[in-house]
Amino acid sequence: MKIFAFRVLSSRPPIVTMRAVTRLAALLALALTALVSPAAPSAAAFSAASAACVPDPATPKRQFRAMWISSVANIDWPSRTGLSVSAQQAEFRSWLDLAVQKRMNAVIVQVRPTADALWPSPYEPWSQWLTGTQGGDPGYDPLAFMVAEAHARNLEFHAWFNPYRVANHDDPSRLVASHPARKNPGWRFAYGGKLYYNPGIPTVRDFIEDAIMDAVTRYDVDGVHLDDYFYPYPVSGQTIPDSATFAQYGGGFSNVADWRRDNVNLLVRELDERIHAAKAHVAFGVSPFGIWRNASTDPLGSRTSGLQSYDSIYADSRRWVKQGWVDYLTPQLYWHIGHAAADYAVLTAWWSEVVRGTGVQLYAGQAAYRTGASGQDPAWQDPAELSDHLRVNRAHPEMLGDVYFSAKDVRADRLGGFSRVVADHYSRPALIPPRGTAGAPPAPTITSLTQGPGGTTVSWQGTGAASYAVYRGEAADPCLVTDARNLLGTTRGTSFTDPSSGQGTYHVSALSRTHQESGAFSVVVDGPSASSAWGTSAYSAQRHGADYRFAAPVAASDPAWFPAAVPATGSYRVEVWHPADPGYNSATPYIVSAAGGTRTVLLDQRTGGGQWRSLGTFTLNAGTYNVVGVSRWTSATGYVVADAVRVSASP
């Protein structure tokens, strides 16, 4: 007997506060692959079987996995200036293919590295890192291209903006003549050999926000991402030249430090408001320096002794979390486990406590660039160091993912360190953690299974979904959709080919733009359990899947049964699929194991084949049992056919 059971099922949408991070509770179902008694188990028994699942921490269902792709100074992309359009695009595709190969689900791409743009911005010039000349048109729209290519691979695209840096030199005459920082000299200052926009000028803040919002409103980005460069990092012997600005705009502040922090806070808060007003689904995140304050300075700080971003670059990242001004934070935790001044384990615990209960998601910024690199602490010569970071993360449920700096170091894979991360932690794909409180889309309906030389292709219909997740596992696995051990992958299309092929239960769930997963129910069972009196045929092109069963009428009880797992007692629509032929039976009995007793519906199988035909809506009990049968007991002549059954939750 060969049975392929199909069901669309997933986690219920979470009940959360604004931007709350909650693990979705899974609805589990057991798909039967052998003949069972028609008697339905109780709902309590079904729930007990579901509760038996213990998710494997090595295969989390939800985990943000990304790498930073830097454009400044051609760190990652483009590899050098002046490449042709085709060469630039080929390089970028290779980065995305690397992300897919490493089972990542997002990329964070620097699109505004030095007050310039990787798109045709009406506010700022083309980036010099594209053509070698600031203001030089690259001949295409890189941002449109990058977003489309990322989405074609179902990778989230987070556009990364450096807010204040104007140039990595301090000569304004080297800026293109049309550059706003050159046309408005009062907007900028030089410090430490570089040029910066002055964060204390309200007009400058408005301009920076407008430049960022141009990309948000015109392109289908999934996130807006700021790095750790706010006020410049301290340079020995130099003072930030903003005393005149403080005198003009610093009223109400007794010291310049509080005023500077307020300037940065205003940028973060206003961007958060503007981004979500324009596109509610776009995530806003910041990647701050890994230490907010040390406990020796502030009892709220971490047990560290390094540079304090609160005091040195005026980034009050803890407040951004507590005020809910960000959707996610990715602190740059670029130290090894056991570091004397900044222990990775200590900082992971501290940041986890900061975000706990706030609804702000936490991802760790990981120093892939340190692994196996010369001049680093000896700990980074251990190929297991980076992998051990993710093991530390498992102790903190608030830590929902990791971002690696940078793409070229992921590819370099020195010492095999990143390969070890993948082997130890990314053996399966993962869904991005859900953001916000939006509802889940309706569940899709599986429509067909096709077996070919490339594997098994599952197809479905769905509405209102941004993407879909596809699972396959053993019918009796209570963890079928609870963690990622059975997750095959995700797609923005409506079909998926499983190259491994094989018998089992396939599941397809729908995901919203903010990654809420559908919780409705629909199961397709392709092929019944039947006695040897039933033949098997693939003759008709109207069949569902690989084949169907057929038998001659007989005055005896010998039904072909379609088992299914019904998650809860309720109202369900029952549909059947069969090929049609003039020689088939005109009154084929379909038996539905409804609550309160079986119901029989007669169908004429001479016509209406090759499509789903409704038997009606029935109240079904919860449990795994024979839900629909095709009976041979009919007085009409011609073969009766048993091909496929679909059971769906009734709206």
The domain ranges of the chain are 4-37+53-59+450-525, 64-425, 528-649
Helix (H), strand (E), coil (C) string for 392-409? HHCCCCCEEEEEECCHHH
- For 598, the 3-state DSSP assignment is coil
Q: Kindly tell me the sign of the dihedral angle through the C-alpha atoms of 352, 354, 359, 360.
A: negative
Work out the number of other CB atoms within 10 angstroms of the CB of residue 241: 12
User: What's the CATH number of domain 4-37+53-59+450-525, 2.60.40, 1.10.150, 1.10.3470, 3.30.2320?
Assistant: 2.60.40
Spatial neighbors of 50 by CB under 8 A, at least 6 apart, are: 26, 27, 28, 29, 478
Which token pair is 194?
């570089």
- Secondary element (H or E) of residue 648: strand 644-649
Q: Is it true that 4-37+53-59+450-525 and 64-425 share their CATH fold?
A: no
Find the distance separating the first CA and the last CA of the chain, reported in whole Å. Answer: 34
Peptide bond into 78 cis (omega under 30): yes
Instruction: Provide the 8-state DSSP code for 13.
Output: P
pLDDT at 566 (0 to 100): 83
Tell me how far apart the alpha carbons of residues 515 and 619 are, in angstroms, rounded to a whole number: 31
Peptide bond into 406 cis (omega under 30): yes
Asked whether the beta carbons of 13 and 516 are under 8 A apart, the reply is yes
Q: Which residue has the tokens 């500077």?
A: 260
Count of alpha carbons within 13 angstroms of residue 342, beta-carbon side: 17
The burial class, CB within 10 Å (0-12 / 13-18 / 19+), for 430 is buried
Helix axis angle, 385-393 to 344-355, nearest 10°: 30
Per-residue pLDDT tens digits for 165-211 = 999 999 999 999 999 999 999 999 999 999 999 999 999 999 999 99
pLDDT at 442 (0 to 100): 81
The burial class, CB within 10 Å (0-12 / 13-18 / 19+), for 9 is buried
pLDDT at 451 (0 to 100): 83
What CATH class is the domain 528-649?
Answer: mainly beta
Which token pair is 109?
């791409």
Tell me which residue of 606, 598, 601, 600 sits closest to 640, measured CA to CA.
606
pLDDT at 568 (0 to 100): 76
- For 279, the 3-state DSSP assignment is coil
Give the start-end residues of each E strand in 416-539.
Answer: 445-452, 455-461, 467-473, 487-491, 495-498, 505-511, 522-526, 535-537
pLDDT at 569 (0 to 100): 83
Q: Taking the mean position of all CA atoms in its chain, how far away is CA 118?
A: 24
Tell me how far apart the alpha carbons of residues 471 and 454 are, in angstroms, rounded to a whole number: 18
Q: Which CATH architecture has domain 64-425?
A: Alpha-Beta Barrel (3.20)
Tell me the Ramachandran region of residue 329: left when phi exceeds 0, alpha when psi lies from -120 to 50, beta otherwise. Answer: beta
pLDDT at 448 (0 to 100): 83
The DSSP bridge partners found for residue 6 are 506, 524
Low-confidence ranges of the chain (pLDDT < 50): 1-51
Tell me how far apart the alpha carbons of residues 29 and 235 are, in angstroms, rounded to a whole number: 60
pLDDT at 520 (0 to 100): 55
Antiparallel, parallel or unpaired: β 588-592 and 644-649: unpaired
Spatial neighbors of 164 by CB under 8 A, at least 6 apart, are: 196, 197, 199, 208, 229, 230, 231, 232
Tell me how far apart the alpha carbons of residues 343 and 27 are, in angstroms, rounded to a whole number: 39
Instruction: Provide the 8-state DSSP code for 436.
Output: S
Per-residue pLDDT tens digits for 454-474 = 898 999 988 889 999 998 877
Record the pTM.
0.79
pLDDT at 503 (0 to 100): 67
- Secondary element (H or E) of residue 347: helix 344-355
- For 365, the 3-state DSSP assignment is strand
Asked whether the beta carbons of 143 and 215 are under 8 A apart, the reply is yes
What backbone phi and psi angles, to 5 degrees, belong to 522?
-155, 130
pLDDT at 72 (0 to 100): 98
Tell me how far apart the alpha carbons of residues 410 and 419 are, in angstroms, rounded to a whole number: 9
The DSSP bridge partners found for residue 617 are 573
Give the start-end residues of each E strand in 106-187.
Answer: 106-112, 156-161, 165-167
Q: Which residue has the tokens 């993948």?
A: 422
The runs of H, that is alpha helices, within 165-251 are 180-183, 202-218, 243-249
Give the start-end residues of each E strand in 45-141.
Answer: 64-69, 106-112
Tell me how far apart the alpha carbons of residues 108 and 97 are, in angstroms, rounded to a whole number: 14
pLDDT at 80 (0 to 100): 98
